[in-house]
Each structure stands twice: as C-alpha cells, then as structure tokens.
Amino acid sequence: MLRLRRPSLRTLALGSLVLVPLAAGGFALQSRVASDGARVFDQVLQLVSDRFVDTLDASTLYERAAQGLVHELSDPYTELLPPKRLQEFSRHTGGRYGGIGMEIGDLGGSIVVSHVFPHTPAEEAGVLEGDRIVQVDTASTRGWKLSQVSDYLTGTPGTKVSVRFARPGVAEPIQYRFTRAVIHVPAVSYSIMLDGKIAYVPLGQFNEDAAEDVASALRRLVTTEGAKGVVLDLRDDPGGILDQALAVSNLFLKDGEEIVSVRGRNTPPQIYVAKDKPLMPSVPLVVLVNGGSASASEIVAGALQDHDRALIVGTTSFGKGLVQTLFPLDGGYALKMTTAKWYTPSGRSIQKERKLLPDGEFIEVHPDSLETDSSRKARPAYKSDDGRVVYGGGAITPDVIVRPDTFTVQEQAFNKLIAAKSPQVYQALANLALDLKPKIKSPSFVVEPAWRDDFFKRLQAANVGVSRGQFDSVSAYVDRLIGARVARTAFGDSTEKRRDLDLDVQLRRAVDLLEHGQTQQDLFAEARQFTAALPKKDSSQ
C-alpha cells in the first residue's frame, strides 16, 4: 500500500511517508575512496571493540555505526528501523490496525484527548475531551512524546490496553481497560452548502475511502442540490495513500492527464495519469491549502493548479515531496530511505529544502511565510497548461495568498496566560458545552453573558490564573470559543463551521471568488483582479 505523509504528531493519519517498490540499490562511491573509507571504518571499529574503556556488545556497536551513517545523511525521512520499531511501522502502514477511538494532542507537555470518535471503545468507556493520559498499562507517560503514546495505544484489534486518565475536577485518576478495535475515521467528516450555492468539502486525510467520500459529497451537493461551485479544503491534511491522491485528482481531471511523476537516481521516471472519466470536469473549483497541507494534498493541489482546473487559495503548503523505500535487512531490521522526489505535471518539485540543526530539528532553508511579491518572484517560475505562472522551489504556492486572521494583542496575552493550564481550560469549556446542550434549541443561538460568567467561574475553580479584567478584555474572543464549542457539542462539526464562516477569512475569500465566477476562467480573472488590488510590496492579506 502506497502512503504519503509529512512528519506529524497527528494520531489519526493512517500511515507514514511513502512506500514504493523500487529496486534495491547501493551507494555509488568511487572505488578508491570507498576502499580507503572502509579501511578507516574497520580500524576504528577494531580499536573501539578492543580498547574502549567499557565493554560494548558487538551487535550494538554495529547498529550504532549504522545509525550514525543514517544520521549523517541529514534527511528527516531516512531511518534505520530496529525490529520492534519495524513492527510498529508495519502495523501502521499495513492497512488494518486497532485503536481505542480518540485523537490526542500535546498541550504543554501533557498528552490530552482532543476528540473522541463515536461508536468506539473510548466513547463507550466514557472518555471525555480534555482528559489527560498519565499512564498506559504499567508505564507512566511522564516525559513521553505524543508519538510514543500513540504507538502504545494502537495495536492488533482484539488486544487489550489499560489507560489511566487525569480529569480536571476529579481527585483520583480514572482507569479504563480497552479492547482495541478497527477505528474508521471518515476522510470527509461532513460536507455542507454555503451561501446557498457553494459546496464545501473538507478532506481531512487521504485514507482508503477518501476519493469515494469526496465523490459522494460532490454528487449530493452539486448533482442533487445544484451547487454552482466547489471548495475542496485541504488545509492541515497531512496526506495518506497515493492511490487516493490520484483518484481524488481524477474526479476533476480528464482521462490521460498527468497527475504526478516520481524521479529517482538510477531508475526510470514513473508517471501517474488520470485513468477515468472525471466526475466534475468543469464545475468552478477552489482548493484551500496551508502549511499543514502535505504530501498527497500537495500532489492533488499541484496537479489541479498545473492543469488550470482549480484556483489555489490560502498559504504555501508544507513541501513534503520525497519518496521513501523500505529495504528489509538481516536480523529483522529495515532501512526506510529517501530514494526519489515527486514532481507536478509542469515539472515542479514538491519538496521544500530543509537543513538539520545541531539539536536534531529541521528548518526551511528559504522560509517564505510572509509570501510577499518579492519572495514569490525569487522562486523559479513555471507555466500551467494555459500559460499562467505557477511557482516552484518546493511546496505549492497559492494563486491567491490569504493569510489566516491573527489574534489581537489582548488575545495573544490571554492565550499565553492560560497556556500552562490548557487541559483545565479545555475541560472547563467542554463541560460548559455539555451542560448547555439540553438548553440549545437552534443552531442560530447567541452566546449569553451568563454563559461567559459560568465559564469564568469554571476557570477559577480549576485554578486557572486569569483575572476578571483580563477575561473581560477578550470577551468577544471568549464568546467565539464558547459558541464554537457549544455548536459542535449540540449539533456537530458542520454547524460549528457555519458559525465559523465569517471568522475563517481563507474560506470566506474562496466563497466570495466563487460567487463572482461562473466558470473556472472567471475565477482566474477574479483572482488576477484581487491580486492586482493588493499593495505591491506585499500581495497578502
């Protein structure tokens, strides 16, 4: 199964990186240099083995040497997998693994439940959003990374795992024993009509059902309900299965049109093309992307942009355009190594260049977070099918740059103030919404001052150090938090998004463009006018 992903701490994604059946091969080193290097290595290994002050196991010595070689490649995606790590990796990429049905996140070093999925062991046991995971089986999670907790919670369906949760307001930790089950998370959790004629389809991940979920949403909203335009939201979509990226692209591209190609060293290029008649060959289309859109998301966005089939709106994507191949090794080890790069139909590499820092972190070599006119013009220019300029240099640069709304100074200060108590704040908000749910009769409810007062009292009870004056200075922001949470609790994600529309400046811009464009060419013309009207020193908003 082919999978693409950016390195992410999201625990919902179904795989990691790309697995491609390429032929095994070695490093092409000049023979003399290779011979000299081999002798030096043998000499060092022998001296360490014989004379180092502490005794070292030979197998451990060889593994550390191999790990050092991999580390010196300075590639965040190349990894030597020991047997246990290989088993975990294979479980996650093999298509069928079990979990307990919750999304977790890292809040200030605490691993906190951020979402509980319906009809799962977690929901049936009574796990609540905001619960903090403090122990799995007999191991404390203190100091654990998010990925470690995720790896421990997932496993073979039918197996057991015990988890202890700390819940704000409850004195003693709560322990549940779960039976892992196959967890199905829909690729499209909801899809709605906006402003009466614009279909909104948020694609959360490229899992096994991604293309069919998108197609089903399009059939209902466009074919049945008569939507005149489509917004495909790929923001924060970390990728997934390659075949699904191809299938989603093919919903809009004509049979035979190139979608993506892969080019490696000492291997012929592989070109992937649309193979079926498109479901939506001409409906006006806007695709939303941001810095969390990676890998498979970038393949789709790049193909639709290059073929002039979609207007790309938002901010520059992540830039994960490398292909990994898994090479089995002796002793149960495997080498997951970068072997190729992905390219859009116009020839743009998706990969954004990054370098390794001494602390092990990777940073972008040429960050362009401001995305000004000058930063874009410094990037290599390519041409779409119709001759529009599209930008290379890694990642997908939108046709229309729209930055998300930012916090006010007071809101930034408030968020900084409550950061240390994030789990307690999250739980207080969740409990408030649960208490209010029976009273909410309509999705168009208005947040009442009494709700805000109740929320403040809950924060005080949870020892969240915020004064009444600080709280009142961000009352509009607090009302948005309360309104969004209550809407989601009472009516679901789609209602929360409807309430959020005017606050989501990127989606609002996409809808505005579609409302003024009857055809895809109209959209491009609207985009040119929008960009031309912006200040020349910074084409962003």
Q: Give the residue numbers annotated as catalytic, written as ranges.
A: 295, 306, 320
Identify which of 517, 523, 497, 516 has the alpha carbon closest to the alpha carbon of residue 194.
497
| Residue 285 contacts residue 232 (beta carbons within 8 Å) | yes
> Residue 50, Cβ neighbours under 10 Å: how many?
7
CB within 8 Å of 181: residues ≥ 6 apart: 98, 99, 100, 101, 120, 121, 157, 158
| Residue 8 contacts residue 238 (beta carbons within 8 Å) | yes
Round the CA-based radius of gyration of the chain to a whole number and report it: 25
Identify which of 96, 106, 161, 170 has the alpha carbon closest to the alpha carbon of residue 135.
161
Total count of residues recorded for the chain: 541
Return the H-helix or E-strand segment holding 457. Answer: helix 449-461
DSSP letter for 73, please.
Answer: T
Q: Is 12 helix (H, G, I), strand (E, B) or coil?
A: coil
Q: Is 336 helix (H, G, I), strand (E, B) or coil?
A: strand
The strand pairing partners of 313, in sequence order, are 288, 400
CB within 8 Å of 141: residues ≥ 6 apart: 111, 133, 134, 135, 148, 149
